[in-house]
Amino acid sequence: MPLAIEVRGLIHKYGDVTAVNGIDLDVAEGECFGLLGPNGAGKTTTVEILEGLLEPTAGLVRVLGQAWNGNANALRQRLGIALQETTLADRLTVREIVVLFRSFHERGVAPDAVLATVGLVDKKDEWVMKLSGGQKQRLAIACALVGDPDLLFLDEPTTGLDPQARRDLWEVVGNVVRRGKTCVLTTHYMEEAERLCNRVAIVDKGKIIALGTPSELIGRLGGSQVLEFGSTPEMTATTLEGLPGVREARQVLDRWRLTVDAAHEAVPALLERLGQNGAQLTALSTHQASLDDVFVLLTGRTLRGDA
């Protein structure tokens, strides 16, 4: 499979701050690749280097088989980009903006067809300032698609949206991705990456700390379910040792997260152990293991940055 993106040893520094600290990356054509990580992990910097908006401090970058240097115009013709939270223009209509972006590209899709793809046909004569957050993001995606790009970049497409708008947008992006458009997506929502991406790189502090398909990464937890609990007094690694069916135990703030094979077997064992230690349960929840848990496993922190 030919490579849409090839990155070796990428480093980017803003003054003394190293935002990207040695990233290697291959994205194949037709793939939807996710860069997943908390705010400030270096995702946006990485993507802006790939988009030709930033010069890397060091490292090799090839996009669609070409280096940016000397090929910028040809490459820009072939890329579609939706930046994080861009407000394009308040007093232009949706259609006027898409027509404007269409005019920049030599080839492309009819503006009305793109508006149909993102579900904005009935808003096409509305001023941008009257759109909701979700509709503005759809417009940003329409502008990215109207040049019929060979490679699509979506930087945090659903950040700041309410859950319903987020799900609607996933459907729009999912439709585009399923048609085989190569796509690089950054997000700090695990669910977004699990739903949309074939492959995910988990980025933290400027480095890739895990790479694989969502199911591979979740498989690394060794269990399929996660049991989260709090107690007084708090349990320790020693007092929890040897619990049956527990693959992995990690403390995040005042809670323990246990990766288990089967919650229905682990819960009674846990309760018994709490009783033996004279501890009272203050909180208990279980959920299907997700990329969130992978991040916690790898970093000891949650993606929302509350640790």
Partner 1 sequence: MSPTPPRIWKPLWELVLARLREFFREPTAIFWTYGFPTVLALALGIAFSGGTDPKAIPIAVLDGPRQAARVETLRQDPGLSVVSLREDEARRRFEGAKIVLAVSGDDEARYLFDPTHPEADATRRRVDDLLQRAAGRQDAIATRSDLVQAPGSRYIDFLVPGLIGMNIMSSSMWGIGYALVEARKRKLLKRLAATPMKRSHFLGSFLIARMVFLATEVAAILAFAVPVFDVRFQGSILAAALLCVAGAVAFAGLGLLASSRTTSTETVSGLMNLIMLPMFVLSGVFFSASHFPDWMQAFIRPLPLTMLNDGLRAVINEGAGVGDVALPIVALAGGALVTLAVGLRWFKWT
> Of the candidates 76, 207, 250, 301, which one interacts with partner 1 according to CB under 8 A?
76
Tell me whether residue 77 or residue 277 sits nearer to partner 1 (CB atom): 77
Q: Which are the contacts of 216, defined by CB distance < 8 A and separation ≥ 6?
A: none
In angstroms, how far is the first alpha carbon of the chain from the final one?
40
Span from 6-14, 19-27, 28-36, 73-81 in contact with partner 1 (CB under 8 A): 73-81
Size of the site for partner 1 (CB under 8 A): 31
Query: Degrees (nearest 5) of the Cα angle 285, 195, 31?
Result: 145
Separation between Cα atoms, residue 21 and residue 58, nearest integer Å? 10
Query: Does the protein bind partner 1 through residue 41 (CB under 8 A)?
Result: no
Can residue 262 be called a binding residue for partner 1 (CB under 8 A)? no
CA angle 301, 304, 307 (to 5 degrees): 35
* Shortest spacing between CB 106 and partner 1, in angstroms: 7
Length of the chain: 307
- Work out whether 274 is an interface residue with partner 1 (CB under 8 A): no
Q: Are 190 and 303 in contact (CB under 8 A)?
A: yes
Looking at residue 285, what DSSP letter applies? E
Q: Quick check: 156 binds partner 1 (CB under 8 A)?
A: no
Structure tokens at 147: 């040049």
Any contact of residue 81 with partner 1 (CB under 8 A)? yes
**Please, are residues 137 and 169 in contact by the beta-carbon 8 Å criterion?**
yes
**Residues 21, 71, 77, 198: which binds partner 1 (CB under 8 A)?**
77
295 binds partner 1 (CB under 8 A): no
Which range of residues in 34-42, 92-100, 277-285, 295-303 is near partner 1 by CB under 8 A? Answer: 92-100
What part of residues 99-128 is at the interface with partner 1 (CB under 8 A)?
A: 99-101, 103-106, 127
Strand stretches in the chain, DSSP E: 3-14, 17-28, 32-36, 58-63, 79-82, 151-155, 182-187, 199-204, 207-212, 225-232, 246-252, 255-260, 280-288
Q: Does 256 bind partner 1 (CB under 8 A)?
A: no
Q: Please tell me the distance from the alpha carbon of residue 10 to that of residue 206, in angstroms, as a whole number.
A: 10
Of the pair 100, 249, the CB lying nearest partner 1 is at: 100
Taking CB under 8 A as the binding criterion, the range among 70-78, 131-139, 225-233, 236-244 that sits at the site for partner 1 is 70-78
Q: Quick check: 282 binds partner 1 (CB under 8 A)?
A: no
150 interacts with partner 1 by CB under 8 A: no
Q: Which residues bind partner 1 (CB under 8 A)?
A: 48, 51-54, 73, 76-77, 79, 81, 83-92, 96, 99-101, 103-106, 127, 143, 147
